Amino acid sequence: MGASLLVMVASLPKTRSGSDDDRAALAASAKTLTGLQQQLTEAIDADSVAYDAVVGAYRLPKTSESEQAARKAAIQRALRSATDVPLGVMRLSVLGLREAAAVAAHGHRAAASDVGVAVALLVAGARGARLNVDINIGSLSDGSYVEAVKAETERLAAETSQLDDAARASLG
């Protein structure tokens, strides 16, 4: 929804100053945001598939040692996928927030509230995705993967906060 709102603002016929620079910046943002919008929409289905895989892995038989080992491996694979999807949502949300700065700077002032709502939605998406990442990595056994994901989520969360602050400042 956040990316969609930004596309809407970037596509308005009126810009901040009516200049060709504004139109070019908004056209570039709209193109990027349209791709992000599609990827974020696809992530909804990917997250559902990943969740179903986790549930399916936990339902695998575990009566013999070989079944237990196969189940454990399947759970780890499924949890990793269930971590990768929301991590991707965090990345995409940050990209959307970066574009929000351009839309805020070049978009029509009357649409500032739409940009503000879009930023709030992208921030919520990033923070919600982080909650999913954090819960899933708690059950993963690959320490190097877990540490890499923790470092990336910290970086993305910090950038989310910075971009949120910058967007709010530019709108006020």
Cα(125)–Cα(18) distance, integer angstroms = 32
Amino acid at 131: L
pLDDT level of residue 130 (50, 70, 90 thresholds): very high
Q: Tens of pLDDT along 14-49? A: 999 999 999 999 999 999 999 999 999 999 999 999
Kindly report the pTM of this predicted structure. Answer: 0.94
C-alpha distances (whole Å) from 12 to each of 22, 29, 153, 154, 171 are: 11, 12, 34, 35, 17
- Tokens 């809407």, located at residue: 8
pLDDT level of residue 169 (50, 70, 90 thresholds): confident
Q: Which CATH number does 2-171 carry?
A: 1.20.120.680
Amino acid at 2: G
Mean pLDDT value of segment 96-104: 94
Does residue 171 carry a pLDDT above 90? Answer: no
pLDDT level of residue 172 (50, 70, 90 thresholds): low
Task: Count how many residues are written for the chain.
Answer: 172
Dig out the tokens for 39 from the structure.
């990827």
